[in-house]
């Protein structure tokens, strides 16, 4: 159970209906400290500024720490899919003795320019560099498209798009020995099972914003997906830090409870050591 808070470094500050919810750093840190204090929460995923604050606050003791690596695809920018690695480098994560890294991989098949292919190439090299240091890397893949009316970039959460993104992410780099997937949950449980058959890599579920404010439906989708063989846990940010009812501790406790009550049917493949 990992709490995610790397959104502000990409200029993505919205949570629910509040466009600048994550812009209040003191409030965000208070919510993070509360979430990290709850039983069963294993750690945090964030950019360097947030992790430095949490370290100074003493909130990272005995926690898993995952550093966010590419934050250059700024939310709303014309170059959003050219997602440069502006955060942690593999050597930074190794030097800080953090536990893992995370990278975002958005694929724009219809996007002009070569931002997607540059991101693909740099992501592959990051996977190689992490594996060379025996550090896990969580790859968060999407097929992304611009809304024809507004031009806003949106992630396609249809089953076919998620399958394709997982297939591409799984093949990055010269080894997949240290690669984990960070994947969205599609609405239909049977479809989610088909989606996760795309790869044998271990995976965690991402949260995103609560759809239509229906927190119970979100928890039920997670519960079903957590039963799938390769799914190993949750990496969730805004939907737990900014729940519709404002009760952070209750939302986090419910998510932790899903992990306690639903285990995978089988273990994922073993790590391949070179």
User: Could you tell me where the DSSP H helices lie in 79-188?
Assistant: 90-95, 115-132, 159-170
* DSSP per-residue letters across 17-62: TBTTGGG-HHHHHHHHHHHHHSTT--EEEE-HHHHHHHHHTTTTTT
pLDDT digits (tens, 9 = 90+) for 157-169: 999 999 999 999 9
Place of tokens 């939310």: 75
What rounded mean pLDDT belongs to the chain?
93
DSSP H or E stretch at residue 2: strand 2-5
Give the model's pLDDT for residue 207: 84
CA atoms within 13 A on the CB side of 194: 13
- Split at pLDDT 50, 70, 90, the class of 181 is very high
**Pairwise pLDDT comparison (188 vs 30), residue with the higher score:** 30
- Split at pLDDT 50, 70, 90, the class of 271 is very low
Give the model's pLDDT for residue 100: 98
pLDDT digits (tens, 9 = 90+) for 71-115: 999 999 999 999 999 999 999 999 999 999 999 999 999 988 899
Calculate mean pLDDT across residues 195-210.
91
Give the model's pLDDT for residue 203: 98
Q: What are phi and psi of 167, to 5 degrees?
A: -60, -45
pLDDT digits (tens, 9 = 90+) for 103-159: 999 999 998 889 999 999 999 999 999 999 999 999 999 999 999 999 999 999 999
Q: Is the pLDDT of residue 251 over 70?
A: yes
Could you give the percent of the chain with pLDDT greater than 70? 93
Give the model's pLDDT for residue 274: 38
Question: 137: which 2 tokens?
Answer: 């890397």
Give the model's pLDDT for residue 128: 98
Q: What are phi and psi of 24, to 5 degrees?
A: -85, 100
Q: Is the pLDDT of residue 273 over 80?
A: no
List for the chain the helix, strand, coil content (%; round to 5).
Answer: 40, 20, 45
Give the model's pLDDT for residue 269: 43
> How many Å apart are CA 186 and CA 99, to the nearest integer?
28
Q: Is the pLDDT of residue 3 over 60?
A: yes
> How many Å apart are CA 216 and CA 195, to the nearest integer?
22
pTM for the model: 0.92
Give the model's pLDDT for residue 265: 44
Calculate mean pLDDT across residues 255-271.
63
SS3 112: coil
CA distances, 92 to each of 69, 99, 133, 175 (Å): 10, 11, 11, 21
Give the model's pLDDT for residue 112: 86
Q: Which fold has domain 2-261?
A: TIM Barrel (3.20.20)
CB 259 within 8 Å of CB 226: yes
Angle between helix 48-56 and 25-37 (nearest 10) = 60
> How many Å apart are CA 181 and CA 198, to the nearest integer?
11
Calculate mean pLDDT across residues 51-58.
98
**Alpha-carbon Rg of the chain, whole angstroms?**
17
């Amino acid at each position: 159970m990992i709490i995610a808070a790397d959104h502000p470094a990409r200029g993505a500050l919205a949570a629910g209906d509040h466009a600048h919810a994550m812009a209040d750093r003191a409030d965000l840190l208070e919510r993070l400290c509360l979430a990290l204090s709850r039983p069963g929460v294993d750690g945090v995923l964030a950019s360097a500024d947030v992790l430095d604050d949490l370290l100074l606050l003493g909130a990272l003791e005995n926690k898993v720490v995952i550093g966010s690596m590419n934050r250059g695809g700024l939310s709303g920018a014309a170059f959003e899919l050219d997602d440069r690695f502006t955060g942690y480098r593999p050597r930074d994560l190794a030097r800080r003795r953090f536990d893992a890294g995370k990278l975002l991989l958005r694929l724009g098949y219809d996007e002009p320019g070569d931002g997607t292919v540059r991101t693909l190439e740099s992501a592959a090299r990051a996977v190689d560099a992490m594996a060379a240091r025996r550090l896990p890397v969580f790859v968060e893949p999407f097929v992304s498209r611009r809304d024809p009316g507004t031009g806003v970039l949106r992630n396609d959460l249809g089953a076919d798009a998620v399958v394709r993104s997982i297939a591409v992410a799984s093949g990055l780099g010269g080894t997949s020995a240290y690669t984990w997937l960070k994947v969205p949950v599609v609405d239909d449980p049977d479809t989610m099972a088909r989606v996760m058959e795309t790869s044998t890599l271990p995976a965690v579920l991402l949260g995103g914003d609560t759809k239509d404010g229906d927190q119970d439906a979100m928890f039920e989708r997670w519960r079903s997906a957590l039963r799938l063989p390769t799914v190993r846990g949750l990496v969730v940010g805004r939907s737990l830090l900014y729940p519709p009812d404002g009760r952070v501790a209750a939302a986090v406790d419910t998510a932790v409870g899903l992990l306690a009550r639903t285990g995978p049917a089988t273990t994922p493949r073993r790590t391949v050591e070179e």
